[in-house]
Structure 1
């Protein structure tokens, strides 16, 4: 199968600008440019390969051919199905089921999203490794964004830092929340003696979550709230820690004070991503329906 190398084309808008400076203006990072120069990429101006010291003229057509990438060590290429919500030559967004890890680990070396994505890229003849933009916990379901190129990964990271990548979740928490809407702003850091657990801590990193109550329900004689959350930051376990901190832990989240029984995993689903496409700038609004376990819990007896 022919390898489909990723490339971008730009038009120079002024005379006398070094190609190197134009590339910087077009969002090409130093790391990406180094890879283009030394790892098999090409810089082509009006059909002729040039160096970064080439002086551009207004109207010059510049094509950047990005080098092929190798699948990262530790990621085996496993055949498996991905529930693809959106795909083009730059992005791959899937609806991840719960009970699947995002990337390999000692406990889950195979069968992860990254393993299946590596197979998907290979099958399509795309010479790239797996670039995960929005990682989800193993038991969190919903939208997960990946890119097919390190440059696009860089652009998506910039969008995240500028808070232009908006992430919305639906969760089921213990108790009836009094407020219909509140913002939880509380720093999050590691819990002493644990490599996994986090906690609200003055020494932690700034973290901000908006919470909106969608519905208050009772199940098995117990009160629950169905909530929609918007993440303004992306700290590890942010939603789980913040909801536990305000006294409404996620149903099924026994690590942070929730109880299993009516649902067997923490009831959290990334249902919407909203962001400008990193290449075209067009707004993308992607959604994923609630999985069966959460939907049944919310809508039983209706």
Structure 2
């Protein structure tokens, strides 16, 4: 079945050429060319040309190009879908699962699970994650369901992470602003260095243990460097609990205490603002309880109890 996107022209777009209308909808030049090669854009069932003007109420249809081969083995694996529309799916990844197959993890990945779900539905859709989580990081992953949605969501999906760190960051709200690059002696580890790529993390302390042993910190990324939160937190003196790679192993935590707990984006076609939230997983909850956190503690703006 051919997938397609359909818009209804609003009064604010009245008089635009089709080309300008498509630009306003973030349809890339490459996608416009691909659609043209496959028959072109339609209006009320007829072909509409790039320099024709659109009118309010007019329906514009974009038949999407055929999807490429999936390239990932579909597997019947547990898959938690927390939000779904025709254009976007938000999944909740457990800690310990990789996003994509790698040399060490050829199966059992989130990509395998997604493709397995599509096969069960009788659909062919490549796995297009808009954010990537390390294997040990839990939380929300936004997936584009087609090429247009991927272009629309690129660089406009906002993520909020929750990390449990050793110590209490000071001040309680601020920025970790330090370039990051790959360490010279490792293909995995990253480090802060003046010759690295610009990297900025906004942080806010949500909860701190009275004796200063740990804190729950909200992190928002302006950039998306590999291990960015882990590297910044460690560099500024507050390594994440359970982070063996960056200097803070913890017997009470068997993985890095990091969770992507909120994502926000606008739906590609309707432009409706969407916010999806995920509560702290059980292992992070128990870690905080072990440090002395109370069940009554709240995450500001999160809408539910911290624990």
Q: TM-score range by the shorter chain?
A: 0.7 to 0.9
Counterpart pick for 2:215 among 225, 235, 243? 225
Q: Which residue of 1 aligns with 2:30?
A: 31
Deviation at 1:179? Answer: 2.7
Counterpart pick for 2:75 among 73, 78, 81? 78
Structure showing the higher strand proportion among its residues: 1
Q: Which residue of 1 aligns with 2:274?
A: 284
* Unmatched tracts of structure 2, length 5 or more: 295-307
Q: Deviations over 1:223-282 (max 9, x none)?
A: 222211122221111100000110111111111111131101110001111222232222
2:210 matched to 1:212? Answer: no
Deviation at 1:125? Answer: 3.5
Q: Which residue of 1 aligns with 2:125?
A: 128
Preserved contact between residue 80 and residue 92 of structure 2 (Cα < 8 Å): yes
Q: Deviations over 1:49-100 (max 9, x none)?
A: 35x4563453543211112313432x11111121111001010101110000
The alignment covers a number of residue pairs equal to 289
Counterpart pick for 1:91 among 88, 93, 101? 88
Counterpart pick for 2:193 among 195, 201, 209? 201
2:59 matched to 1:61? Answer: yes
Preserved contact between residue 70 and residue 124 of structure 2 (Cα < 8 Å): no
Specify the SS of the correspondent of 2:185. coil
Are residues 65 and 91 of structure 1, via their aligned partners in 2, closer, same or farther at CA, if it must alter by over 3 Å? same
Moved more, 3-12 or 137-146: 3-12
Q: Which residue of 1 aligns with 2:135?
A: 138
* Unmatched tracts of structure 1, length 5 or more: 160-164
Deviation at 1:216? Answer: 2.4
Preserved contact between residue 20 and residue 53 of structure 1 (Cα < 8 Å): yes
For residues 104-123 of structure 1, what are the structure 2 equivalents within 5 Å?
A: 104-123=101-120
Are residues 131 and 16 of structure 1, via their aligned partners in 2, closer, same or farther at CA, if it must alter by over 3 Å? closer
What is the TM-score when the length of structure 1 is the normalising length? 0.87
Deviation at 1:114? Answer: 1.1
Preserved contact between residue 87 and residue 267 of structure 2 (Cα < 8 Å): no
Moved more, 185-194 or 24-33: 24-33
What is the TM-score when the length of structure 2 is the normalising length? 0.86
Are residues 49 and 247 of structure 1, via their aligned partners in 2, closer, same or farther at CA, if it must alter by over 3 Å? same
Aligned residues: CA RMSD:
2.3
Preserved contact between residue 6 and residue 149 of structure 1 (Cα < 8 Å): no
Moved more, 54-63 or 24-33: 54-63
Q: Which residue of 2 aligns with 1:186?
A: 178
